[in-house]
């Protein structure tokens, strides 16, 4: 069964790129200089920040549904990221080296299943979740810090 993993659109963050730290702080955003790798996973391009790059720590509504599963949490966005990660049947390396929490949602944005797995084995949970016809999409989070990592959708055909 084919699946598509996507990162976030950069459009929500581009207005923050280059702002002075004081203006970012007034918006609840912090800038970091990447000083270790891994450690600063970009949620737009779905890659680790490179040492010396800057990333923005922002709050992201990973589940904006108006129900009990509405959720937001901190994520990193590489300052200057412009290309949304979008790949079929490929898991980005930024997910591979982490313990992941996968959460399966139905058409009403209600959670119908969840599991935790090593990122090197994430396809097994994706396949299991999508074997349930009620599962419409999956959210992937880093299990240790809880940060949203990406979205998984079915690929029809």
pLDDT of 56: 98
Please state the separation of Cα 36 from the chain's center in Å: 20
Q: What is the pLDDT of residues 19-38, one digit of tens each?
A: 999 999 999 999 999 999 99
pLDDT of 1: 81
Q: How far apart are CA 84 and CA 9, in angstroms?
A: 6
Name the least confident of 27-31, 53-57, 63-67, 114-118.
63-67
pLDDT of 95: 97
Q: What is the pLDDT of residues 81-129, one digit of tens each?
A: 999 999 999 999 999 989 999 999 999 999 999 999 999 999 999 999 9
Helix or strand (DSSP H, E) at 128: helix 122-130
The residues, any chain, with a CB within 8 Å of residue 57's CB and separated by 6 or more, are 29, 30, 31, 32, 74, 75, 76
Residue 146 has pLDDT above 90, yes or no: no
Is residue 7 within 8 A of residue 86, CB to CB? The reply is yes
Domain boundaries, the chain: 3-154
């Amino acid at each position: 069964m084919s699946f598509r993993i996507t990162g976030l659109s950069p459009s929500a963050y581009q207005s923050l790129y280059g702002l002075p730290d004081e203006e970012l702080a007034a918006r609840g955003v912090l800038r970091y200089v990447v000083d270790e790798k891994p450690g600063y996973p970009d949620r737009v391009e779905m890659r680790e920040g490179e040492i010396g790059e800057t990333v923005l720590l922002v709050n992201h509504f990973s589940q904006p549904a108006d129900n009990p599963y509405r959720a937001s949490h901190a994520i990193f966005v590489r300052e200057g990221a412009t290309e949304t990660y979008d790949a079929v049947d490929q898991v980005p390396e930024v997910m591979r080296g982490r313990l992941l929490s996968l959460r399966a949602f139905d058409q009403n944005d209600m959670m119908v299943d969840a599991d935790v797995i090593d990122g090197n084995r994430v396809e097994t949970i994706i396949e299991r979740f999508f074997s349930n016809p009620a599962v419409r999409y999956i959210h992937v989070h880093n299990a240790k810090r809880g940060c949203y990592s990406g979205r998984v959708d079915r690929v029809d055909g």
